[in-house]
Amino acid sequence: MDALSLLVSALPDGVVVTDPDAVEKYRFDWSRDLLAGHPLAVVRAEDAAQVQTTVRWAAEHRVPVVPRGAGSGLSGGSTAVDGGIVLSLERMRAIEVDVECRVAVVEPGALNAEVKAACAEHGLWYPPDPSSYEICSIGGNVATNAGGLCCVKYGVTTDYVLGLDVVLADGTLVTLGGKRIKDVAGLSLLKLFVGSEGTLGIVTRVLLRLVPAQAARSTLVASFPDVGSAAEAVVDVGRTLRPSMMELMDNASINAVEDYRSMGLDRTAGALLVAQSDAPGAARAEEMTQIAAACELAGATAVFSTDDPAEGEMFVEARRLAFPAIEARGALLLEDVGAPVPRLPDLLAAIAAIATEHEVEIPVVAHAGDGNTHPIIVFDAGDPASEKRARLAFEAVMRAAIDLGGTITGEHGVGRAKKGALPDQLGPEVMALNQRVKDALDPHGILNPGAVL
């Protein structure tokens, strides 16, 4: 019996998928990497034991395993590799809310939005909210240490992970952490697995810390003549205030959204800021006034505020639409670069200069309050010259972020798309340290090989 047949026979019927058409859908994530490999099979695991069986088999036969949640990753972290297994967690999506402990016990395939909804039924809130929250999985969120829009006030995924069940590279299942809020017993392995992009182990259960439901929010939309003045407003607000959202759209992304779906955005604005306050009671109106004042001081030409949740959500939805809207314009290279917040104007200026130099369109949206930007490089997939210019711009944007003391990725992960630039940011010694930890936990290199390192 060949190796794959052994795996098929070790798992229940239907868990191992080998039909080429069915497998095809699992080769790509949203980064649509044209170099995606052809896997042997897809394992659609139903429980941790099946994950263990798969990994044990992979370890024995030295077969690469690429774990995959909802496939909405933007850096190629779950792009298939030749001759490997795609280990899909999409069927493991149980959600249990421990209301007393304020903890959600979640399987990795559950979508972020499903977790939020389950918690909301009990008046509880799981804050991290990637723009893709309706279609991305918690397992993927943990793998990339995903951020989102409210993270400027409420932090990112790692801040909410209290516990993980992880299948290690030899198939051992370990439980890290638990339903306690503070725990420093032993090394911070829990935190090490968060953001490890499936290269150290495969998460089969997540304990998420919940907080009381978010207070009512007000929304502010400010138009600026250019991204620089908008960025100045962001820096100024951050000095004294803690808004619960501080998003930026540049003119190109505004117009891409309006072309895609009319959302009533000001097409003439050089940049828009979409900010929210959830300060309690009367403090909310006060915070909104202060944010508005900072915008005006920085040169905003119009400031609109609303306490109406539906109206506010419309603007946030417009911001979230930027990615699908820009995707409608062509093939994309997705950036996720960050910089110290006061360097945000410099980063945005550098991106604009790179767009000009390489003759590519680079609309930008940003979690501006965290200094985390998403320049989206648009190119014509049918035109090799256009693609080449886009790839040069992609490298140049990461280089600009590094030069400003920033990062090549704030929340999407390195995956395969940004692996080439990682040494530029980390340097040889930190790269070697990463590799040492990787080798210690996955000595045969079977877990997501080719990602990150």
Site for a second copy in 104-133 (CB under 8 A): 123
- Please say which residue, 355 or 441, places its beta carbon nearer to a second copy: 441
Choose, by CB under 8 A, the member of 60, 346, 426, 449 that binds a second copy. 426
C-alpha span between 32 and 224 (Å, rounded): 34
Choose, by CB under 8 A, the member of 12, 186, 262, 310 that binds a second copy. 186
Packing angle, helices 384-403 and 422-441, rounded to 10: 80
Site for a second copy in 234-273 (CB under 8 A): 235, 238-242
Determine the interface stretch with a second copy among 10-18, 41-49, 189-197, 262-270 (rule: CB under 8 A): 189-197
Asked whether position 137 contacts a second copy by CB under 8 A, the answer is: no
Q: Which residues contact 128 (CB under 8 A, 6 or more apart)?
A: 112, 141, 146, 147, 148, 150, 151, 154, 155, 156, 157, 159, 160
- Please say which residue, 310 or 440, places its beta carbon nearer to a second copy: 440
Q: Three-state DSSP class for 18?
A: coil
State the number of CA atoms in the 13 A half-sphere of 97 facing the CB.
17
From residue 370, give the alpha-carbon distance in Å to each of 186, 215, 258, 273, 345: 31, 21, 25, 13, 13
Determine the interface stretch with a second copy among 55-63, 86-94, 188-196, 292-300 (rule: CB under 8 A): 188-196
Q: How many residues of this chain interact with a second copy, rule: CB under 8 A? A: 89
- Number of other residues whose CB lies within 10 A of the CB of residue 427: 11
- Please say which residue, 254 or 447, places its beta carbon nearer to a second copy: 447
**Neighbour-count burial of 440, counting CB atoms closer than 10 A to its CB (0-12 exposed, 13-18 middle, 19+ buried):** exposed
C-alpha span between 169 and 57 (Å, rounded): 10
Choose, by CB under 8 A, the member of 270, 345, 413, 450 that binds a second copy. 413
- Number of other residues whose CB lies within 10 A of the CB of residue 213: 12
Site for a second copy in 149-178 (CB under 8 A): 151, 155-156, 158-159, 168, 172, 174-176, 178
Asked whether position 100 contacts a second copy by CB under 8 A, the answer is: yes
Asked whether position 136 contacts a second copy by CB under 8 A, the answer is: no
C-alpha span between 79 and 137 (Å, rounded): 16
Choose, by CB under 8 A, the member of 54, 244, 407, 448 that binds a second copy. 407
Site for a second copy in 432-451 (CB under 8 A): 433-434, 436-441
Site for a second copy in 367-386 (CB under 8 A): 367, 370-372
Determine the interface stretch with a second copy among 89-97, 179-187, 243-251, 311-319 (rule: CB under 8 A): 179-187
Written as six digits, the tokens of 281 are 């009671």
Asked whether position 32 contacts a second copy by CB under 8 A, the answer is: no
Q: Which residues contact 61 (CB under 8 A, 6 or more apart)?
A: 3, 6
Choose, by CB under 8 A, the member of 78, 131, 409, 448 that binds a second copy. 409
What string marks each residue from 305 to 344 as x (binds a second copy by CB under 8 A) or -?
---------------------------------xxxxx--
Q: Three-state DSSP class for 444?
A: coil
